Chains A and B, each alone.
Chain A
Amino acid sequence: NAGVTQTPKFQVLKTGQSMTLQCAQDMNHEYMSWYRQDPGMGLRLIHYSVGAGITDQGEVPNGYNVSRSTTEDFPLRLLSAAPSQTSVYFCASRGLSNTGELFFGEGSRLTVL
Chain B
Amino acid sequence: GESVGLHLPTLSVQEGDNSIINCAYSNSASDYFIWYKQESGKGPQFIIDIRSNMDKRQGQRVTVLLNKTVKHLSLQIAATQPGDSAVYFCAEGLAGTYKYIFGTGTRLKVLA
**Residues of A bordering B, CB below 8 Å:** 4, 31, 33, 35, 37-45, 48, 50, 56, 58-59, 88, 90, 92, 99-107, 109
Contacts and interface: CB of A to CB of B under 8 A. Distances in A.
A88 B44 contact: no
Contacts, number: 70
Interface residues of B, number: 28
Contacts of B95: 99
B9 to A, nearest CB: 11
Contact of A109 (B1, B7, B46, B98): B1
B105 A42 contact: yes
B99 A99 contact: no
A43 B42 CA distance: 14
B44 A104 contact: yes
Contact of B49 (A31, A33, A100): A100
